[in-house]
Structure 1
Amino acid sequence: MKTQFKLSLLGTTLLIGAASLATPAFAQDQEQDTGAPSNDATIVVTGSLISNPNVVASSPVNVTTAEEIELLQANVAEEILREIPGVVPALGSAVNNGANGTNTVNLRGLGANRNLVLLDGNRLVPANFGGSVDLNNIPLALIERVDVLTGGASTTYGADAISGVVNFVTKRDFAGVEMSASNRITEEGDGNALRADLTVGANFDDGRGNAVLSIGYQEVDPVYQGARPISLFQVSSTSGVASGNSPTSIPTSFAFDNAAIPVDPVFGLTQTNPAGDAIVPFYAGFNFNPFNIFQTPFERFNMFGQAHYEISDSVEVYTRGLFSKNTVSAIIAPSGVFGETLTVGLNNPFLTPSIRSTLCIEGGIAAAACTPTSTATVTIPGVYRRTVEVGPRISEYVTQVFDYRLGVKVGVTDTIKLDVSGSYGESENRETRQNYVLRSRLQQALTLNAAGTACANPAGGCVPLNLFGAAGSITPAQAAFIRGSSTVTNKASLAQARALLAGDFGFSIPSASQPISFAIGGEYREYTAAREPDNLAAVPGELGGAGGAILPLDGGYNVYDAFGELNVPIASDQPFFHDLSLEAGVRYSKYEVDTAGSPSFSATTYKIGGSWAPVEALRFRGSFQRAVRAPNIGELFAPVVTGLDNLSVDPCAGTGVIGNALLSAVCIAQGAPAGRVAAGTIPQPAAGQANVTGGGNPLIGPEKAETYALGFVFQPTTFLSGLTVSMDYYNIVVDNAITNATPGDIIQGCFGSLTAASATSPACTGIRRNPTTGALSGSTANTFGLPQPLTNLGRLSTDGIDLSINYRTDLGFATLGWAFNGNWTNTSKFRASPTAFNRDCVGYYSVNCQSIQPEFSFSQRTTLGFGDVDVSLLWRYIDSVQYEGQAPDALTGRGFTNANRNLFRGTVTGAGPMVGRQVDFNRIRAYHYFDLSTRFSITDNLGLTMTVLNLTNQKAPLVGNTAGATAFNSGNTYPSTYDALGRTFAVSAKLKF
């Protein structure tokens, strides 16, 4: 009933009541950076709450216009933002194993949870308990421009805006009908992307009101990694061998701990093992790449409507509502049995004589009793089998979002307005996991009756399972019984109420011509979030290959804000002081956490800044801001569970531990079997992934950040008219950062400098290993791996320079538009605790540095206009980067040792089209991408745009499959940073009248 009421409210608002309501105007065009005012007196600068057209922001804003969006042929907002230098790839369409059904933005590499996404200057409901907004819900058809303000903005917009805000500004007074359609397809004939939008708007009552409704549809097809040569086979980042690197393969392998089984051939060891640990038999690792995808399939239906109406000269009401339904599918390799402990009867008819004999040795059963009719059973500590017969694992995420706002503006005086508004939004993300092997069903199908002809427990239509043959030995009936689906539902809501009084005092300082402006107000926000897993998802290890258990979550908090801003013009139109102004702001926030025992807390943020134009053509600007970020619901309330993280090298693995008394003692203290330690047969983490255990912490408090920005804007008014140059230096430092240590930090904290006391040190004993193999990977039910608790001990920092150059001129035969946006990132550092290594990830890639953040990057667009035809070339540059293990401190601080750091240079060997290719996995060269667009105005009402993306068909770099984090290092490359699809063609048409 509650949901039906809200949907009914949305439909009524958009389709019936639009004509009697109104919406606030929030706009900030490219003139902001130049200081030129707009003619619209209601304009609010992104980064300020003061509604004065003469206010010039002291913080730089990057602006992407609707024209640029059209040339980019973007389907969703994430595709726009990823082209902006200084924006580091986050979750998006190129993330598969690690996707959660949402697209997010990561400003300055400080994390998607440290920036805000706004729509017309207002918050939207978060996508989940992590607090981030899903960019899939942004109505692109009505976007006038995108403002990206980087640097602290907590004073203006509240917590979460440590690294800045992304403000999507919609068209205020759209009138007419606009229909658009676009299609995109790769040169290989796959990855088709379709988008269609219909927008209808009208002014009414002599222009006193406006209403608009936009509906849209998008559909994107997957691109499989098996369809590209670079990713057909997994390539090891340490050996260069192209094959498969997952030990969960076909046929079944068994992990034993028995002195009578002397060899451990699965991991390539041929020496005698006197301790008797083994995994038998040996089969090649599984190649999961062809099942994975470079581009996630996506389908979206969206509806957005807004309206405003001037009841009188001093009263205006407004509304805005959106509804979106998105379906995203993540597709990865088939499920299986990942080191589970299972019991098998000797009377199982599918056992081969050799496997039965091995089981008898493991179980201590005499050869005479080791027969197909024996009713004895043997418990195998670790079973590995990839169940290709069950099909690929598919996680389908269906997200439905509703967000509604209603408000009124009242003119208190001619220059002061009161804006009171409220909003409510809900997001529901339902994940359905398909084609997962159920551990309980496995055991049921292996437990047979005395005759070995049927399941001892026939419940659910049990079918005896042939787990011991080659691919195809599991019949469709057997696969159907062990196959399961699971559902996890994530819900989030945000209720807001705000009152803002803004304008000017009506007087100015004698030396200035503009009045002093102000904004004061209060805001209330209520966040709630819940996670509802089904019974299968909540059991550790029940879903084969799904990671850890997903446990219920329910939490929320309330925020009470009071804030104020002041802009004071000091001087204007005087020698050396064409304009001088100062600004300041303060916000007090009180957080009340819903859960008993969780402390409430408060925070105060402030900003000061200024703008000085000695002459009309040159303006200097600077600001200092103290920002905060409150912990989100997930950081406060997420249950502690065991999952997966990336680690390719384990100090206890392999023969390097043999004879090293200190290292051996530590490995045994962590739970590794002594026999495996002595024999050097502990395997490396499977597929470069280790188990980690962590969750929320209800005792953590807010982060604190200091942000500096200093720059200038140059816009000559006589010579080179049409030129604008801006350069800004930024510096952001986050203390008390809510973080957990990287796997490399945890390994280094224990193994970096071993002593006799290390075997009892919490830094070492907190690591818990697979009790059978001694590895850091295995069943999440008994292998807890690396501890990753959340704390307030972290520190983040970054600094760099943004450069923007824009030039427009008439060449006579054509008009020229030339735009350049570049970023130089000096540092981007992360330290998990005061004693941890202060890691700098700029220019590096590794499992410790998630998404690639180059030192230099830029985008440059040149457009020539020939009347009804525009030709535009976009040049994107990504600086070279190198593997983190090559850094000078690799031996001491980055989690690597001289023996195991990645130093591979050579030729790819093994199988597949990459064999024979010369590679250097330690470095990725600089990349240049070119996109060529041509836009035709066929008639006054019809336009056509054609684009070739990746014009020169640049191939993605080959770095192997274990060089970095799974979400971003996929298919032997980094598809979120580099184009893995190849040359792509796009065409769009727009009809308006």
Structure 2
Amino acid sequence: MVTATRIQRDGYEAPTPTSVIGIEEIAAKAPANLADFVNELPSMAPNNTPRANVGFVSAGLVGINALNLRSLGASRTLVLLDGQRVGPSTLTGLVDVNQFPQALVKRVDVVTGGASAGWGSDAVAGVVNFLLDKDFTGLKGQVQGGTTTYGDGRNYNLSLAGGTGFADGRGHILVSAEHAYNKGISGVPRDWYDGSKLMFNPAYTPTNGQPQLLVSPNTGFATATPGGIITSGPLRGTYFGPGGVPAQFNYGPVISAPFMQGGDWEYADFARSGDLDPRLSRQNLFIRSSYDVTDNVQVFVQGSYSRAKSFQRTLNQFNFANITIQPDNAFIPASIADQVTAPFTLGTFNQDMGPIPALSRRSSWRGVAGASGNFEAFGSDWDWDVYGQKSVNHAYTAADISITANYRAAIDAVRNANGAIVCRSTLSNPGNGCVPYNIFGTGVVSEAALDYVLGTSWGRTKLKEDVFAGTLRGRPFSSWAGPVSVAGGLEHRREAVSGSNDPLSSTRSFFAGNYSASFGSYNVTEGFLETVVPLAADQPWARSLDFNGAVRATHYSTSGYVTTWKLGLTYSPVDDISFRTTRSRDIRAANLAELFQASQTSTTSFNDPFRNNASTTAFQVTRGNLSLDPEVADSLGVGVILRPRFLPGFTASADYYDIDIKDAISTVNAATVVNQCFQGNGAFCSQIDRDVAGVISSVLVQPVNLAKQIARGIDFEAGYRQPFLDGDLAIRLMATRYLKNYSDDGITPPTDTVGTNGTNGTLKNSLPRWRYQASLGWSRDPVSVLFTARGFSSGVYNTSYIQCTSGCPASTTANMTINDNHLPGAIYFDTSITISLSDQVDGFLSVDNVLNKDPAQMAYGPGVGTAPLSVNPVLYDVLGRSFRMGFRFKM
């Protein structure tokens, strides 16, 4: 059975293109994680991996390994396990591939086309189906370990799987267990980092021809240092080093708050304080048992449990010149105390607090019971299957962060009547427990002060999914060209979320985190019908011509009824060439987060145009919207497949896709809300809260049905297998040329992100014009070798930027001018070798990024929301050369 269709039919090829990854390819590559291997496919955008989410505290995605086809968002890619839905791992609907029994995966089908009519909602971009070897008999296992060329990032993987029959072969049982660990990489122990930042040009005016944005290497912060820096008054530029000793800061030649190029930039930069790679430990257990009740009926039960724990150190708490110090503060060093006669502002990275540690624990229980069988009716054979699934996912996310009120009270320290240093608030409220906190310098804060200032922001989420489904397949009659195949079925699904959080998070009392508990549920009832009708066979003008059609009726308790459909044709004039085309209507309904999220907050930094683009740190508050309608996507696919008889073993295909999404569900970020208000769109101004000084404190954002999103591109795939040098040669090439990824939300100017190697405002928008992967494998017992090249084309920071160094037009919000908008492409070479040590044991060695190619520097800014590491980990390899070696056995 091929995932592109529900029809089971020998020799039939569905019109929807499918890339297949077999167990041999997986074994040859020996990936540390199966999701890592799948995410290297050119049709994937690997922006929901553990490394891509480094630095994010409030999103709760630490450790997640999800899949995202076409860069349309992981929520638009349907992930299946043996053709069955898998419960979401996050409130946003992401499915964590870490929970799958990877030792039993025999094949991965990647359907790169709309498949909602066949498989249901969320399959707008396509389907990724992990198929298990349910008939495996014997015992197999693997021991694998790895590290980088720098001796860090150590990891290992242990797996064991077994299968056996019972009851004279009528029954079969499978058991699989896996334990994997990745130590992660603390800090950024690499010499490629150059401190690149993207800053506003302080010399820019709309008429002087200079660019508004500057890509600047060797750039740190002008308004914060590890132990604090005075940013106003006569002592401006006085910073406090180890032990609180004052010194004069060396400002660089270019200053544009909060950034500064040159001078003491390395000292005033905290990008290296976060982790390059998070620590991740995961375990899973899978059990399946099947039994042939009769020759025509089989029943099965299966259960799985998985858990994962991840940890990372993210950004420091940054206070960019937003702390006011009173002149009587008791911790002001004596050497400058006499010079302080008025309040001044101070900025700090709060080095004594250290980087914010973020912890995530996830567990998943999944149980499935079902039956399958076959029978004869209407003169033909029919087969059927039914199953019920229940999954429960628990997620706990926590971060040790400062409590804002405690921090503000503790740094406002004075001397009491006895000369002792106390909090100012303690003078009027002696029993408040406040412990004074020395904000001047590093290595000066007491443990008691840290205990008072720091707290744990935590949130627990429970996600439940119940599914009941049944499918019937058969060939009720024949046309003039052959038997007509049909498949139909029913499915009912219920999704629910509940949770809890600490009391302080409910009132946004922490610097970051502030996790919230969401509650809600919805249900979906669906029915589908699919058919394959042969229209011609063995004709002079057609070796074969088949029609494939599907329709699905869906009713959501939240948004009502919707119909999806698919029409497709496959045509082979001769055996050497085939053409395929599909036209489909696909949908995605709002997920639990988009519907029910209860004011999730994250700390972000942006430039406030109301205050001359002043750097502003505020809460972005995201709230669900019960009024959302389903997205509707019209998809077109046209392709050709070549199998020339004059070149046995060679196949090639090219497929064009066009996905047009109407009423796309999306959320504009805080910076967009502020800019829209500044430009006169009054509807957004009510979403902005400011403090008494006029500084933005929070911005409310909500998902809405936007106007349109369009994705277009061409997928290429070619393969060649032939005997060579007394062995077997296998060559495979896969590439995707992205033509358009266009968004028009009816609010901001339309943007096409194709060609973006930067973040374009978010990692989710990184999309080079080309992504490719080529592999060359050769095997001759007892040796197999594999060489792989993977990469992407050069691009820009942001497709809306205008590059210029002089004579620039006036910069606008829609099209800002920049001095350097270029980011290079990259190609990485990997290799692996497998040696059969015996009939049952293989040894293997894999090396990724053989040439140890450094990532390109990507200037970060102009806002600061997460650790500003000047690289894009979604596209570029940030670890360097990595080694994995181990043994696998099968008996």
Q: Normalising by structure 2, what TM-score?
A: 0.87
In 2: Cα distance, 1:125 partner to 1:212 partner:
22
Query: Is structure 2 residue 484 aligned with structure 1 residue 516?
Result: yes
Q: 1:954 aligns with which of 847, 853, 859?
A: 853
| Residues 714, 737 of structure 2: 8 Å contact kept | yes
What residue in structure 1 maps to residue 281 of structure 2? Answer: 299
1:403-444 deviation per Cα after TM superposition (whole angstroms, max 9, x unaligned):
111001232326212312100001111012125455325515
Counterpart selection for 2:438 from 458, 463, 466:
466
Aligned residue among 501, 504, 508 for 2:472:
501
- One of 716, 723, 740 as aligned partner of 2:650: 723
Secondary structure (helix, strand or coil) at the match of 1:516 reads: strand
CA positional deviation for 1:134 = 0.9
Partners of 1:632 and 1:477 in 2: CA distance? 44
Determine the C-alpha separation between the residues in 1 that align with 2:430 and 2:635. Answer: 65
Q: Distance in 2 between matches of 1:480 and 1:426?
A: 35
| Deviation, structure 1 residue 167 | 0.4
2:515 alignment partner, one of 550, 566, 569: 550
Aligned partner (choices 827, 831, 839) of residue 751 of structure 2: 839
How far does residue 962 in structure 1 lie from its aligned partner after superposition?
A: 2.4
Secondary structure class of the residue paired with 1:290:
helix
Kindly provide the CA deviation profile for residues 614-650 of structure 1, in whole angstroms up to 9, marking residues without a partner as x: 1223221111110011001111122345534564x55
* Residue aligned with 1:537, SS: helix
Aligned: 1:866 with 2:825:
no
- 1:601 lines up with 2:532 in the alignment: no
Aligned AA (2:750):
N
Q: Secondary structure at the match of 2:192?
A: helix
Equivalent-residue separation in structure 1 for 2:290 and 2:862 (angstroms): 53
Q: Once structures 1 and 2 are overlaid, which stretch shifts more, 115-124 or 733-742?
A: 733-742
**Alpha-carbon distance, 1:886 to partner:** 6.7
Q: Secondary structure at the match of 2:409?
A: helix
Corresponding position: 1:977 with 2:852? no
Aligned to 2:105: 143
CA–CA distance in structure 1, aligned partners of residues 319 and 405 of structure 2 = 8
Moved more, 974-983 or 236-245: 236-245
Q: What percent of counterpart residues are identical?
A: 26
Structure 1 residue 313: deviation in Å?
A: 1.2
**Residue 593 of structure 2 is aligned to residue 625 of structure 1:** no
Question: Match for 1:806: what amino acid?
Answer: G
Pair 1:359–1:333, CA change in 2 (3 A): same
Q: What is the aligned counterpart of 2:43 among 63, 70, 86?
A: 86
The answer as to 2:216 corresponding to 1:249 is no
Q: Between Structure 1 and Structure 2, how many residues are aligned?
A: 839
Structure 2 distance, partners of 1:52, 1:245, is 64
User: Partners of 1:592 and 1:581 in 2: how far apart?
Assistant: 37
1:101 is aligned to: 63
Gap change, CA 1:194 and 1:867, over 3 Å in 2: same
* Deviation sequence 1:201-238 (CA, Å, 0-9, x none): 11233433221111001110122343001237464563
- The 1:359–1:323 alpha-carbon spacing in structure 2 relative to 1, beyond 3 Å, is farther
1:901 corresponds in structure 2 to 817
What amino acid maps onto 2:176 in structure 1? S
**Conservation of the 8 A alpha-carbon contact between 1:885 and 1:901:** no
Partner of 2:192: 230
Amino acid at match of 1:843: G
Please give the alpha-carbon distance, in whole angstroms, between the structure 2 residues aligned to 1:963 and 1:444.
31
Task: Give the whole-Å Cα distance in 1 for the aligned partners of 2:647 and 2:554.
Answer: 47
In structure 1, the residue matched to 2:829 is: 930
Q: Is the 8 A contact 2:566 2:585 kept in 1?
A: yes
Deviation at 1:789, TM superposition (A): 3.1
Structure 1 residues 84 and 797: alpha-carbon distance in aligned structure 2, compared to 1, 3 A threshold: same
Query: Does structure 2 conserve the Cα–Cα contact (< 8 Å) formed by 1:879 and 1:927?
Result: yes
SS at match of 2:456: strand
Q: Is the contact between residue 172 and residue 290 of structure 2 (CA under 8 Å) also seen in structure 1?
A: yes
Find the aligned partners of 2:719 and 2:276 in 1 and give their Cα distance: 34
Q: What's 1:916 paired with?
A: none
- Greater alpha carbon shift after TM alignment, 237-246 vs 107-116: 237-246
User: 1 CA distance for matches of 2:75 and 2:120?
Assistant: 13
Give the residue type in structure 2 aligned to 1:424: K
Matched, 1:803 2:716: yes
Cα distance in 1 between the residues matched to 2:465 and 2:348? 45
- How far off its partner does 1:568 sit? 1.1
1:965: Cα distance to partner? Answer: 9.1
1:163 CA drift (Å): 0.6
Checking the alignment, whether the CA contact within 8 Å between 1:336 and 1:437 is kept in structure 2 is: no
Q: What does the per-residue CA deviation read over 1:861-887, in whole Å, with 9 as the maximum and x for residues that have no partner? A: 111122211121101131111122675
Which residue of 132, 138, 151 corresponds with 1:170?
132
1:538 aligns with 2:519: no
- Taking the aligned partners of 2:347 and 2:863, their CA distance within structure 1 comes to 25
Q: Are 2:730 and 2:777, in contact at CA under 8 Å, matched by a contact in 1? A: yes
More strand by share: 2
Answer whether contact 1:618 1:715 (CA < 8 A) is retained: yes
Question: For residues 761 and 355 of structure 1, what CA distance do their matches in structure 2 show?
Answer: 47
- Compared CA separation, residues 889 and 233, structure 1 to 2 (3 A): closer
Whether the 8 Å contact between 1:850 and 1:965 is mirrored in structure 2 is no
Q: Which amino acid aligns with 2:522?
A: Y
Supply the distance in 2 between the matched residues of 1:344 and 1:361 (Cα, whole angstroms): 7
Amino acid at match of 1:697: N
Question: Quick one: distance in 2 between partners of 1:236 and 1:642?
Answer: 25
Give distance in 1, aligned partners of 2:161 and 2:122. 32
Letter aligned with residue 990 of structure 1 = R
- 1:426 counterpart (392, 407, 411): 392
Matched position secondary structure for 1:843: coil
In structure 2, the residue matched to 1:371 is none
- Show the counterpart of 1:29: none
Task: Go from structure 1 to structure 2 and tell me whether the alpha carbon gap of 1:965 and 1:977 turns closer, same or farther (over 3 Å shift).
Answer: farther
| SS of alignment partner, residue 634 of structure 1 | helix
Aligned mates of 1:722, 1:893 — CA distance in 2: 58
User: Does the Cα contact within 8 Å between 1:951 and 1:983 map onto a contact in 2?
Assistant: yes
Letter in 2 for 1:683: A
Amino acid at match of 1:841: T
Q: Distance in 2 between the 1:115 and 1:829 partners?
A: 18
Amino acid at match of 1:480: D
Query: Cα distance, 1:185 vs. partner?
Result: 0.8
Once the 2 structures are TM-superposed, how far is the Cα of residue 101 of structure 1 from its aligned partner? 3.2
Per the alignment, residue 683 of structure 1 pairs with: 614
* 1:288 positional shift: 1.6
The residue aligned with 1:879 is: 793
**Equivalent pair of 2:620/2:698 in contact (CA under 8 Å):** yes
* C-alpha contact (below 8 Å) 1:569/1:582 kept by paired residues: yes
Report the Cα distance in structure 2 between the residues aligned to 1:328 and 1:946, rounded to whole angstroms.
26
Secondary structure of residue in 2 paired with 1:87: coil
Amino acid at match of 1:729: Y
Q: Using a 3 Å threshold, how does the CA distance of structure 1 residues 840 and 612 change in structure 2: closer, same or farther?
A: same
What amino acid maps onto 2:592 in structure 1?
I
Matching of residues 194-213 of structure 1 within 5 Å: 194-213=156-175
* C-alpha separation in 1, matches of 2:520 and 2:814: 42
